[in-house]
Structure 1
Amino acid sequence: MALNKQIWLNTIVENFYPDNSFASKSIDDSTFVSYKTVHIPNAGTPSGVEINRTQKPASVSQRTDNELTYDMDELTTNPIYIPNIDTVELSYDKRNSVLSNDRQQLQKVAAQNLLYRWAKGANTLSTSGAVRKAHTSETATGNRKKFTKAVVMEAMVKMNVDDVPTEGRYMLLDAVQYADLLDDLTDKELSAFQAVANVSKGVMGQLYGFSIMQRSKVLRVKADGLTVIRWEDEDEEETELAAGLAWQQQCVSRALGEVKMYSNEDDPQYYGDIYSFLVRVGGSPRRYDKKGVYLITEGAAA
């Protein structure tokens, strides 16, 4: 009887990971990542200007400054075991695959943690487009209002009114919201939008002064439209809403440390190698008045 031939390829099909390039569009506080807490001083209200002053001597006041603080989080992977047999009998390099995947997963969670920090307590806007199904998870039910160019315009007006600098404005949308936006643009608008894309830097196009970026997942909030939910810490909710984020580069900060690998090779108890990774991460809006950062939440629909 003939035997069927089998072959193992010498490469492995790897996992996919999201684009985290949005994190670089912020003030870099990474030099302070070894500290527990970072303090960001904020200037108080100016003394004021009077035209044709009549009262002299003028009254003297003292400016009161404010501060924001944020703490560092320490993110660690679960230790992973690579038995000796996997390093000598497999046709592909499992060690390299395991280490690369765990490192990228750690960086993915660090980026999501940064988004959570930027969005927490931010100003809020809500979408008002046509109705479509909820998409944050299979658990989420009901309908949501699509993301449209109207809410991008609204974010632009809010920042203009607050004198937020026009340079360095960004908006991050999840995959479904990004598709909503493209569908809402006219052919002429879409052409102009894509003409200024810089995909190598994560920018898919520009609209109303915002460089639009896209990530598979961005943020999710409770039904109140205000309470941001961590992707990793809390269970999926039926009424949760997807959210995008708009910010100006000088109005948020990031602190991302180097990924540190721990290893115990040739462990005599496990007869193999054990690895784990650690990274410290922090970040926050930089302004006490929250100007320049907007959480854009899906409107719930019947």
Structure 2
Amino acid sequence: MSTLNKQVWISQIMENFYPEASFLNYAKDMTEHVENDKINLADCGFDPDVLINNTTYPIPIVQRADMPLSIELDLYETENTLVRSPEAVELAYNKLESVIYGHRMTLRAKSGQKAAHAFAPNSDTENTPILVTTGDNNGDGFKRLIPEDILKLKKKYDLLDVPYDNRYLVLDPNHVEDLILYDLKAFKDITDFKNGQPTRFAGFNILQYTKTAKYNLLAKTKLPWGAVSDANTTYGSFSFSSEEVMKADGSVKMFERIDDPELRATVVGFDKRFIALPIRNKAIGAIIAGKI
């Protein structure tokens, strides 16, 4: 056996890569714009004004100065796996799935964590509101999330004229608990993903994710990716408009060493290119946990 059928293994890696309940399903998919693992976009200079009952002609012509952007997709690499009898694995779905499973789950988890961090706003601005919870002590020294906090975020999105159908709120597990404890009957169903669609509350489609970005509570700023927490660190839920965030998949590569003489087995590993980002840093928000 000189080589493995890489296409079979790679297609298995990508199978169900975005689970039904993943917030990434609701980001704009810009994979078609990826070339050589880079995505080429344009940073729009401004939106045009709208004239009402205009009586002055000709209508002014204003040139829009778009700034070209070329973004390289992040590279995700799995650790290698030792595979006995790869020919038998390749021909049997269950065996192949058992080998691929760990690689897919690791790539999926890291991609989701990086995307959740990217979609969370960096700081509190008019276009990227960051609110602080105002509920009672949750027992760990943090203020619980209450419905009034979500309604305040709704108002921020209303002022930005974000279409209702495009609004998503991704709850941190602590905030899911807060809402259920606030009203078990009302929020148990709201925080369940049913019939392939998120449930709505206060104008938001409600989703959940376990690895949301961390914030400095005093400054209301997002901690950098991989930063170490300190006494001022808090957790939060994040929100976005589906028209204002994007994802893009790039190449998936498989590496193999066939019939290694020392290991008496075949070694396989995978690389995957992926990126997820806000498009204009607009209509993304967060509700972070206040401290008692």
Distance 2:45 2:182 in 1: 40
CA contact (8 A) 1:265 1:273 kept: yes
Q: CA deviation at 1:133?
A: 4.9
What does 1:168-247 correspond to in 2, within 5 Å?
A: 168-185=166-183, 187=185, 189-190=186-187, 193=190, 198-201=193-196, 203=198, 205-223=199-217, 224-230=219-225, 233-247=226-240
Gaps of 5+ in 2: 1-18, 89-93, 123-127
Distance 1:271 1:241 in 2: 49
Q: Given the alignment, which residue of 241, 244, 254 partners 1:251?
A: 244
Which protein shows a greater Rg?
A: 1
CA contact (8 A) 1:265 1:274 kept: yes
Distance 2:200 2:106 in 1: 29
1:167 alignment partner AA: D
| C-alpha distance after superposition, 1:166-212 (max 9, x if no partner) | 1121111121111112222374x448847xx6435362x32111111
Q: Given the alignment, which residue of 145, 153, 165 partners 1:155?
A: 153
Distance 1:161 1:151 in 2: 16
Q: CA deviation at 1:39?
A: 1.4
Q: 1:191 to 1:267 in 2, by over 3 A?
A: closer
Distance 1:19 1:248 in 2: 18
Distance 1:123 1:261 in 2: 41
CA contact (8 A) 1:166 1:209 kept: yes
What does 1:64-79 correspond to in 2, within 5 Å?
A: 64-67=64-67, 69=69, 70-79=71-80
Q: 1:76 to 1:200 in 2, by over 3 A?
A: farther
TM-score with structure 1 setting the length:
0.73
Q: 1:120 to 1:267 in 2, by over 3 A?
A: farther
Among all aligned residue pairs of Structure 1 and Structure 2, give the percentage whose two residues are the same amino acid.
Answer: 20
What does 1:56-205 correspond to in 2, within 5 Å?
A: 60=60, 62-67=62-67, 69=69, 70-82=71-83, 96-121=97-122, 122-133=128-139, 143-185=141-183, 187=185, 189-190=186-187, 193=190, 198-201=193-196, 203=198, 205=199
Q: 1:49 to 1:274 in 2, by over 3 A?
A: same
CA contact (8 A) 2:121 2:284 kept: no
Distance 1:258 1:73 in 2: 11
Q: 1:103 to 1:128 in 2, by over 3 A?
A: same
TM-score with structure 2 setting the length:
0.75
Q: CA deviation at 1:101?
A: 1.2
Distance 1:97 1:28 in 2: 29
Task: Please say which of residues 33-42 and 162-171 is displaced more in the overlay.
Answer: 33-42
| C-alpha distance after superposition, 1:99-135 (max 9, x if no partner) | 311221111101111112222434322212112255x
CA contact (8 A) 1:253 1:284 kept: yes
CA contact (8 A) 1:119 1:293 kept: yes
Residue 271 of structure 2 aligns to a residue in which SS?
strand
Distance 2:24 2:170 in 1: 10
Q: CA deviation at 1:254?
A: 0.8
Partner of 1:284: 277
Gaps of 5+ in 1: 1-17, 88-92, 135-142
Residue 211 of structure 1 aligns to a residue in which SS?
strand
CA contact (8 A) 2:179 2:187 kept: no
- Number of residue-to-residue matches in the alignment: 261
Distance 1:24 1:115 in 2: 12
Q: 1:75 to 1:150 in 2, by over 3 A?
A: same
Question: Please, what is the CA RMSD of the aligned residues?
Answer: 3.3
Q: 1:57 to 1:181 in 2, by over 3 A?
A: same
